[in-house]
Each structure stands twice: as structure tokens, then as C-alpha cells.
Amino acid sequence: MKNNSNLSRRRFLRTTGQAATALAAVSTFAPAVLSASSPGKTIGVGCIGLGTRGGDLINAVVNAPNVKVTAVCDVYGPHRQKGIERSLNPAVKAYVDYRELLADRNVDAVVIATPDHWHCQIVLDAVKAGKDIYCEKGFSRTLAEAKLMRDALKQSRVVFQLGHHARQAACALQAKELLVKDILGPITLVRTGRFKASEPGHPNWRWYGYYDQWDRPDPAKVAKEVNWDLWLGPAPKIPWNERHFWHWRCYYAYGTGYAGDLLSHEMDFVQYLLGHGIPDNCVCAGQIALLRDDREVPDTWVATYQFEKLGRTVTFEGSMNTTDNQPVTICGRDATLRFDDIAHNVNTFEIIPAGHNSKADLPKGYARGRTPAQPNHMEDWVNCIQSRGTPKCSTDDAFIETATFLMSLKAQQEKRLVRWDAAREEIV
């Protein structure tokens, strides 16, 4: 598994595991003094949040080199038990409150896979506790949170990785290297998209604990096994709500819908390839076209970004009601580079010359074997903890991701074109 860098997100190293408010940092944590790790040092990792993605990520980290999962944390009993079983460590500690995990001296680093509304506070607390951090995307729900997190991380020596593992693909690195050589000519258009249709009885984002689990657990039993106040945390206080617990992606109190959950994948991948930063402006339309099941977030999302000085437009089209497909496609004047799939599923690409392009040396596409296999996204983080290096999707990339996807959210909600004010770092 350590050599396979092209798994889809849902399979991201899962199979290896099967073998076995100002948001103030919590004052009880002493400021961290991080020293360089020796290459052979075993890293104690604590996993916070063990639901859908957290279950995959613990499978990933237990198989990374020089790692032992020493602690797990979840507010829901069955998820906590899942973490214990997948830790592959009979001595693993289990916590309900993540602050107790952060105080555990056997935890050097944390994997955060909670619902998005908890990311900011846990990242701030982990920084103060001196723990290196892998945080699932999206980075935060608001720009104010993203600034707090970015500033805290950059003022620390914490090694931070955001969970966009499309950056691990060897074909992506090879494409990135070719794009630097300007083989496409001026790039004026980039197309991306995310589509999925499911049967009417299984609407997207209405699963129970994993992407393909549709059997509803006993609601009364679930309510007894969840610490609801801790789950809500910084979100508005409401009575126990089973649908919010299982299906939090559908509600704006806990996430950002299509913007941070799906668009962010594609836009981060484009940023990795082209490095053009935060767009100048964005227009976006979204609606609940079919999935009228009390969700707040749209099931259809179409965003257009412009980079004015580059003369470049990037589009994202998304629908949960169609089986269409839009591979990541980078369109230049002289040639087009088209991947075989959405960002985190890419395995290869082709290069299609324009009719006027007669260059004999234009690559035809991905040259398998020319680019060495890359460490998977989790291994990249672990390697950087050992070396005190910078992972592939670190703090600056996380801020770019957040500003970009939040531009689409603001544009859709306010039904207008929004702009990025770089001097003020605000969406206006």
C-alpha cells in the first residue's frame, strides 16, 4: 500500500486498515517547543473524529512508517470503538473530549477528521499543545477562522498538512512539471466538475457513518451514545437532532456544502498544478433541484472564477442528480491537457494539440515510469514531521483553498459577483 499513490478518496489507504466566538486556545495546554525529530523516532498519533473520513484516515496513518496510534477520540461510542479496533495498538487510549487527548504526553501529532465546524478550535488548541497536525479539508467554515488558524500555524513550528491527497499522484507531479515549461501556450480556461447521481431512496450525503451505508441505526440508541453538547461545540445550541448528527454536510451550521466539500477538491488540485493563487472574482449559482429533504445546501453548484491578469477562467460544475463526468481539463492556446478523472482519482493524462500546433516534440501525455512514485499524502506528512519539512498541502495552500471556495459560497448566497481584496484579505 505504501507504493500505491493513486487510490480514490474513499479508498485512500482504507484497504490496509482492513488487514488488521473568539476561538481562544485552551489555557491548560503549555506552549510547545518542538525540536527536530530523528528519522527513526516513533511518532505517537492521536486521531480526533472517527466517522466517515476519520475511519479512512486512521487506516492510513497506522500504516505510515514510524507511527503508532496512541490515542483516539470521538463523541460517539461506536466510532470511538472503531478507532480502538483500527489503531492496531492494544494500549491505545480512548477519549470523548479531544482536549484530554491533546494533554496526553504520548501524542505527538493529531489527525483531525471532525465535522468542519470544529476544525478551527481543535487546530488552535493543537498548535498550543505543540502537536503536529493533519486536518481534513475544508480547512474552515469562515475566512475569519482561516486567518486565525493560518496565523497560529505560521507563528508555530507545527508541521501542518491539509487533506487534499490529489497532490500525491505521480501523474499530477509530471503534469505540473510540464506546465512549467509552457507546453500548452497561454492557459485561458480550466474546466472541473463533480457529478454523482444516486437512487431516490439513497440521496447523497444521507448515509449513516460511511459512504455506502444506508441502514439507519436505532435513533434512541444513537442518542444515548452521543455526547451531543460536545458534538455541537461552537455551533448553535439546539436539541438533539439525529439528521444533523449523521448528515451534517447538509446544514450550514457545520459545513459549507458543495463549496468546501467538493469544489475545494478540484480548485486545490488546479492550484497545485498552476500555482495562480486566489482568484480575482467569482460568480456562482446553486439550487436544490431535486433533493428536497430538509437540506439547506444546494445539490447543484456552478461557479466561474477569473484570474484577470492571467486572462484565465476556471469553471466548476456540480450536480448530485446526474451521472455526467468532467475530468480536470487545462486548456491552452496551443494544446489541452486532460486528466482521466476528477482531482483525487487521477491516474493519467493526455495532451491534445491544437490544429495549428505542429510541434513534433509535444508529449502525448503521461509517461508512466518517468516520474517516481510519490509518498501518499499521509506518508508525506509523517516524513515532514521527521524532517521538520513542509508538506505538499500546507498552511498557505489551506488559506488559498478556503478563500477560493468561500468566494463561491458568498457569490451564490448573495447572488452577485464577488471579488478578492488582496490588500485587506477579504471577499468583497
User: Crossing angle for the helix pair 52-61 and 77-86, nearest 10 degrees?
Assistant: 20
Q: Assess whether pLDDT exceeds 60 at residue 14.
A: no
Mean pLDDT of 181-200: 96
Q: Just give the CATH number of 9-165.
A: 3.40.50.720
Nearest-angstrom CA–CA distance, 185 and 362: 12
> What are the grid coordinates assigned to 361, written together?
516534440
So what's the pLDDT on residue 10?
44
Residue of 365 and 9 predicted with greater confidence: 365
pLDDT tens, 208-233? 999 999 999 999 999 999 999 999 99
User: Going by CATH, does the domain composed of 170-200+257-371+395-427 fall within 3.30.360.10?
Assistant: yes
Mean pLDDT of 49-61: 97
Q: Would you place residue 165 in the very low, low, confident or very high pLDDT band (cuts 50, 70, 90)?
A: very high
- Per-chain mean pLDDT for the chain: 92
Instruction: For residue 227, count other CB atoms closer than 10 A to its CB.
Output: 13
pLDDT tens, 69-87? 999 999 999 999 999 999 9
Mean pLDDT of 154-177: 97
CA–centroid distance for 139 within its chain: 7
Mean pLDDT of 140-158: 98
Mean pLDDT of 415-419: 98
> What are the grid coordinates assigned to 346, written together?
487521477
323: three-class secondary structure by DSSP: coil
- Among all chains, which residue has been given the C-alpha cell 492557459? 187
At residue 86, what is the residue type? R
So what's the pLDDT on residue 392?
97
From-to residues of CATH 3.30.360.10 in the chain: 170-200+257-371+395-427
Nearest-angstrom CA–CA distance, 279 and 291: 30
Whole-Å CA distances, 356 to 6, 334, 352, 362: 34, 7, 12, 13
Hey, which bits of 74-113 come out as E strands?
Answer: 93-95, 109-112
At residue 184, what is the residue type? L
Q: Assess whether pLDDT exceeds 60 at residue 19.
A: no
From-to residues of CATH 3.40.50.720 in the chain: 9-165
Nearest-angstrom CA–CA distance, 81 and 53: 15
So what's the pLDDT on residue 38?
54
Q: Assess whether pLDDT exceeds 90 at residue 37.
A: no
So what's the pLDDT on residue 4?
35
130: three-class secondary structure by DSSP: coil
Q: Assess whether pLDDT exceeds 60 at residue 2.
A: no
Q: Would you place residue 39 in the very low, low, confident or very high pLDDT band (cuts 50, 70, 90)?
A: low
Q: What percent of the chain has pLDDT over 90?
A: 90
- Among all chains, which residue has been given the C-alpha cell 477579504? 426
So what's the pLDDT on residue 12?
41
Q: Is the peptide bond before 275 cis (omega within 30 degrees of 0)?
A: no
Taking alpha carbons only, the member of 267, 218, 207 closest to residue 10 is 207
Q: 22-26, 121-125, 156-160, 191-195 — which is least confidently predicted? A: 22-26
So what's the pLDDT on residue 176?
98
* H-assigned helices in 133-169: 143-154
Please count the residues of the chain.
428
Q: What is the pTM of this model?
A: 0.91
Nearest-angstrom CA–CA distance, 357 and 142: 44
pLDDT tens, 383-394? 999 999 999 999
Q: Assess whether pLDDT exceeds 60 at residue 159.
A: yes
Mean pLDDT of 252-278: 98
So what's the pLDDT on residue 114?
98
Nearest-angstrom CA–CA distance, 115 and 97: 15
So what's the pLDDT on residue 108?
98
Mean pLDDT of 53-59: 97
